[in-house]
Amino acid sequence: MTAQSPLVFNITRSTSLRPQAERDAILANPGFGKHFTDHMVSIDWTIEQGWYDAQVRPYGPLMLDPAASVLHYAQEIFEGLKAYRHADGSVWTFRPEANAARMQRSAHRLALPELPVDLFVESIKQLVSIDAAWVPSAPETSLYLRPFMIANESFLGVRSAQKAAYYVIASPAGAYFAKGVAPVSIWLSTDYARAAVGGTGAAKCGGNYAASLLPQQEAYENGCPQVLFLDPLEGKYLEELGGMNVFLVMKDGTVVTPELSGSILEGVTRASIIELARDRGHQVQERKITIDEWRDGVASGAVAEAFACGTAAVVTPIAALKGRDFIVGDESAPAGELTMSLRQELTDIQYGRLPDRHGWMTRLV
């Protein structure tokens, strides 16, 4: 492939912008993932041309050939990050280079083309600039950004696609916990694994989510909003939730989280929480954690707190872990102290209420 000059985004403004009153009504109660902004980004790729035709264009349906490979062999990856409005009106995002690098790793695993980090960050800037009015300003609200990539070659043969497209869409997001942060109970899946050894667990791909939906449904039926998966080989070690990483806080202040096993998705929130806890002098261990260690630790008092983390809900306290014939913890337990204080510190950095000492924030508007 020849070296390419940086792509210039071709901008086509929507001629049917949502009226301000309608936008304001949506921003007053956005929910999550239900409403979308006026524009989207698209960039095309072919094996001959590399990345080309970068566009900001009106939000709207995609035209796909019914033989497009993504529809048959699930060659798809995605990312999730947020734009935060600060008190002075400026708009920022959190560690976008980390999401860009992860998308490259996911692309590699799914045999999709790697989008350059600069182009990823620029695509976010372009979309948030044109749709800046869609970034809400109420506490704990944000504009959720969803970059994704699909293989769109019309070919039913089984091999990696020679044509792909990258898109970014954006959706205003309300406070995840509308009535204040509430601890949740999570369901332990023993019948299903999320990912296999040597599989795609470490890649952020739609297929992993498809595999998690049935156990997720089982969790709902048992009164739990999330599922915890165990390692796919022995069914003994904690891995993660369907879309969040998991942490325990021990009585002595040690913070533990499952080590990256190859089938765990490496969260940007996970990495950030590890740094913030270390900054405060907590010992942080990334290691194997058995389900028995959690169960016995709650009984003996050695495990003091549990939480899950990810971009969408930031940090979610876990009150109890439920299975078919057991419950660990107390469903009405309050959120852990360190859990809530790490959550506060992280959101304070993201919303510009604390100095950005790690250089994690990138200004968009």
Ligand X SMILES: *Cc1c(COP(=O)(O)O)cnc(C)c1O
Q: Does 269 bind ligand X (CB under 6 A)?
A: yes
- Please report how close the Cβ of residue 192 comes to ligand X at its closest, in angstroms: 14
CB nearer to ligand X: give 163 or 270.
270
By C-alpha distance, which of 294, 286, 282 is closest to 338? 282
Q: Which two tokens stand for residue 157?
A: 């043969």
Q: 272 to each of 18, 100, 276, how far by Cα in Å? A: 36, 16, 6
Q: Does 240 bind ligand X (CB under 6 A)?
A: yes
CA separation for the pair 363, 138 (Å, rounded):
19
One of 104, 189, 226, 311 touching ligand X (CB under 6 A): 311
Helix (H) or strand (E) holding 314: strand 314-323
29-68 residues near ligand X, rule: CB under 6 A: none
CB nearer to ligand X: give 108 or 159.
108
Site residue total, ligand X (CB under 6 A) = 13
Residue 257 sits at φ, ψ, to 5 deg, of -145, 145
- Please report how close the Cβ of residue 329 comes to ligand X at its closest, in angstroms: 21
One of 35, 125, 204, 295 touching ligand X (CB under 6 A): 204
Q: Does 267 bind ligand X (CB under 6 A)?
A: yes
Q: Does 245 bind ligand X (CB under 6 A)?
A: yes
98-157 residues near ligand X, rule: CB under 6 A: none
- Please report how close the Cβ of residue 80 comes to ligand X at its closest, in angstroms: 5
CB nearer to ligand X: give 68 or 289.
289
Chain residue whose CB lies nearest ligand X:
267
Q: Does 297 bind ligand X (CB under 6 A)?
A: no
Alpha carbon 120 to its chain centroid, in Å, reads: 16
What single string gives the DSSP state of each residue in 103-156?
HHHHHHHTT-PPPPHHHHHHHHHHHHHHTGGGS--STT-EEEEEEEEEE--B--
CA separation for the pair 70, 324 (Å, rounded):
36
